[in-house]
């Protein structure tokens, strides 16, 4: 028997088996879908950065966390625990340890809000988001500054001899900058999603296939940096808690389709203005896409919004506000 096994709580070992089983299920599932996944690799105990107590073996006592087979650990609780604690996960991030709990609460979700304010959102690289009311959000400067700092640290790391103590120290410094950027990005998307949910009752996004888009090696890093899926998932769960609506629509031709007349106007990525030769509409390409996204979202999930009914008809130009948009099309 492995000498480490008696040192680990049985519930933790069961969770490790669950992870291994999930890896193989994913592997065979991808094979069935005619993909080319890598065979699951062996993961020794020193390669685990987290472990989970799925049912028992842990207890919060004041400002300490008792873990079976480990002992008492001082913790800083960021908020009061509400509900029944179901699982406890310990995670290592470089030189910092975190604990996260999943809890079960009996509170039901609020009833859906009456739809009064709606918005479509086109995500991009710069700007990160464009709203159908013409508002835009540029990439935060602090993220760009951190990227420059990361590049400098990575250059220093490349100059160190492989296997040396100094290289290991530089590797840890690079990892810390990566963590800082990850936390900055998460904070940015948490705040942005909060503002969107507070301001709008109905939000429409494109249902983007990020994995497919990442195959474009020229855009892969930029797409990874802006983390569209993070913004969308944060917005979706906040909306659910608030009784708001988030929907995802087919992204095909949202930039090419004219938001006034519905005709397809082909344009390359470097063309920033939508100029329709059929109806004469001239509009920022991202705003045009955001309007199409909202139109499709309302068509997909019609909830009795009383402001307008999205139908194709004679084009009418009305001023757009944060609460109402012109979607008459012909």
pLDDT in tens, 179-237: 988 898 999 999 999 999 999 999 999 988 766 665 666 565 666 666 888 999 999 99
Say what the pTM is. 0.76
Collapse the DSSP code of 311 into the 3-class scheme (helix H, G, I; strand E, B; otherwise coil) and give the result.
coil
Structure tokens given for 146: 């951190």
Q: What is the pLDDT of residue 239?
A: 94
Q: Report, in angstroms and rounded to the nearest whole number, the Rg of the chain calculated over CA atoms.
A: 25
pLDDT at residue 216 in the model: 62
Amino acid 328: pLDDT:
36
- Looking at residue 325, its pLDDT comes to 41
Q: What is the pLDDT of residue 191?
A: 94
CA 188 to chain centre: 11
Q: How many residues does the chain have?
A: 330
Q: Evaluate whether 279 touches 315 at the Cβ level (below 8 Å).
A: yes
Q: What is the pLDDT of residues 61-100, one digit of tens each?
A: 888 999 999 999 999 888 888 888 999 999 998 888 999 9
Beta-bridge partners for 84: 104
Q: How far apart are CA 295 and CA 308, in angstroms?
A: 11
Q: What is the pLDDT of residue 1?
A: 53
Kindly give the pairing relationship between strand 245-249 and strand 202-206. Answer: parallel
Which residues lie closer than 8 Å to 57 by C-beta, 6 or more apart? 9, 10, 11, 12, 67, 68, 69, 88
In the 8-state DSSP scheme, what is residue 281? -
Q: What is the pLDDT of residue 305?
A: 46
**Residue 324: what pLDDT?**
40
Cα separation of 322 and 319, whole Å?
10
The rounded average pLDDT for each run of 10 residues, N- to C-terminus, in the chain (330 residues) is 78 90 92 88 83 91 91 88 89 90 83 87 89 90 83 89 89 90 91 96 88 60 72 94 93 93 90 93 94 92 52 37 38
């Amino acid at each position: 028997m492995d000498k480490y096994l008696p040192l680990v709580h049985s519930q933790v070992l069961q969770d490790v088996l669950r992870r291994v089983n999930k890896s193989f299920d994913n592997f065979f599932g991808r094979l069935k879908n005619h993909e080319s996944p890598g065979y699951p690799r062996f993961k020794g105990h020193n390669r685990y950065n987290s472990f989970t107590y799925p049912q028992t073996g842990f207890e919060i006592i004041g400002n300490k966390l008792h873990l079976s087979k480990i002992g008492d650990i001082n913790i800083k609780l960021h908020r009061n625990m509400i509900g029944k604690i179901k699982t406890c996960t310990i995670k290592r991030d470089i030189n910092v340890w975190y604990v996260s709990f999943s809890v079960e609460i009996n509170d039901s979700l609020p009833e859906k809000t009456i739809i009064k304010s709606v918005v479509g959102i086109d995500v991009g690289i710069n700007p990160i988001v464009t709203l159908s009311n013409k508002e835009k959000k540029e990439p935060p400067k602090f993220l760009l500054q951190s990227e420059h700092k990361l590049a400098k640290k990575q250059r220093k790391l490349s100059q160190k001899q492989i296997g040396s103590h100094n290289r290991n120290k530089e590797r840890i410094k690079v990892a810390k900058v990566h963590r800082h950027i990850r936390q900055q990005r998460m904070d940015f998307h948490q705040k942005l999603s909060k503002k969107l949910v507070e301001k709008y009752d109905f939000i429409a996004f494109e249902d983007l296939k990020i994995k497919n888009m990442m195959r474009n090696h020229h855009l892969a890093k930029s797409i990874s940096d802006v983390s569209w899926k993070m913004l969308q998932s944060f917005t979706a769960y906040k909306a659910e808690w608030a009784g708001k609506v988030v929907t995802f629509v087919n992204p095909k031709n949202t930039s090419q389709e004219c938001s006034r007349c519905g005709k397809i106007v082909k344009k390359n990525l470097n063309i920033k203005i939508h100029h329709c030769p059929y109806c004469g509409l001239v509009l920022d390409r991202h705003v045009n896409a955001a309007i199409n996204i909202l139109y499709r979202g309302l068509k997909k999930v019609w909830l009795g919004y009383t402001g307008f009914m999205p139908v194709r008809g004679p084009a009418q130009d009305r001023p757009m506000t944060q609460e109402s948009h012109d979607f008459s099309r012909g």
